Chain A
């Protein structure tokens, strides 16, 4: 497997991985804002977000219809849809694509759910590797607290309740996420994860992320083209709506 840079794509893909509640979504959001404010071409894509597949996934989750195999396949379908329709074309167009979770989420989760590792890896072998993968390593208790601060209850699949590890969701979460962490750590070297200590405060983590991105990517290569002079220069934010309707 090769990265997008190795495949001579003009764009670059940055992925974040980590346990639920590791704070990776906050970090990638801040990274996105930072890049956007530098007028760079940025696109953000989230795990399990393709419109069409989403309806099936949420139905499956709601009715607890999913088995480890169908759970794995439906997430692979979602990924393939985003990969073929968004990620690849945007990377061809020289975008920095930010992914909240990438194939490693499947490698970790599906294997913990009991799917054969070679099978899962085979499903995703059409995908190129990210150019940078940040792994936000948090302690289980920190993750659990972050999730519970945001909402009162753990979600069924996030707590791994389908695996019947424990009838107590909190206990189940600890066991399930603990196993996922093991899987992530086992992949860390193989896929060159950039490990960020996610127990730290938000700002400290973001400083590390921005520093590494600056070191590894030539950010000036991803600048948006200057607008043709005939059009008035766009004011950032606010005016966007008017502009869109004028088009």
Chain B
């Protein structure tokens, strides 16, 4: 007697909560999501091909612009891949500073995630508090390298320059200031019943599914798999740091929220250790040529970025430029699992899921 139709809704690319230019083709049955198809590529810039025409030292500024929220860790991953390829040893001090910066960057990225995730679910104020605190991290970056967002502060064989005077003290002030601030965000969200209802049991992904979809980072750990490159294959100075890998068994949005908040605390712990043990010495490997050549071969290097495993695959034929360059983007891989996570939910859950995946479209589209 009655005929009902599915409704096709195009969410994005101009939509307030798709975090950039993501387009989702939704099939809705009333408010229930029947199918969701992410359509990406609106921010594709052909970076991988571009890198084949750049000498090795030119690429880091381009890497910065992939995942612009976690640019320092992108940078670090690429630089370490080149160092692995060319067999360059990095001085101890540089490795410590890299670790500190990477963790600061993880903190900054998680702050942006928390703010935008809260904003998606309607908690507007958290966004401003998070960005207020992120500002301190960006100030530290500016004092160290001169730029705030696309930092480009690591160099092949070391870092750009030594820490400026007073930087360590400033960083200490920041990590002392941060724990009460995290308490504040938690006071606004963690126990709030609306937040609980909006996140608990929403966007569930089982450990099995997460592994088969290649999901990494906090999303994988919130499904109960304690996989962290910083522990399994330590790079920089992570092997000398003590930290925990937080996991939760539930695999829902709330679990991911708790895991990321705990990661922020662990980051503070790592930074504190790094500052305490910061060794003196050189910050750059002995003079390298600007137009350096890497021996022929290939290398794949992974680091634990704020969003998940960031892989850098470089092939060299012995020349000045990489022969082939491939970046494994965690946003791209994690986004693929959106279907599993949001089918059967409501429209409002899609927004929560996008927020919890923590995509950066620059990273996703490359």
User: Do these two chains interact?
Assistant: no
Interface set of B (CB-CB < 8 Å, partner A): none
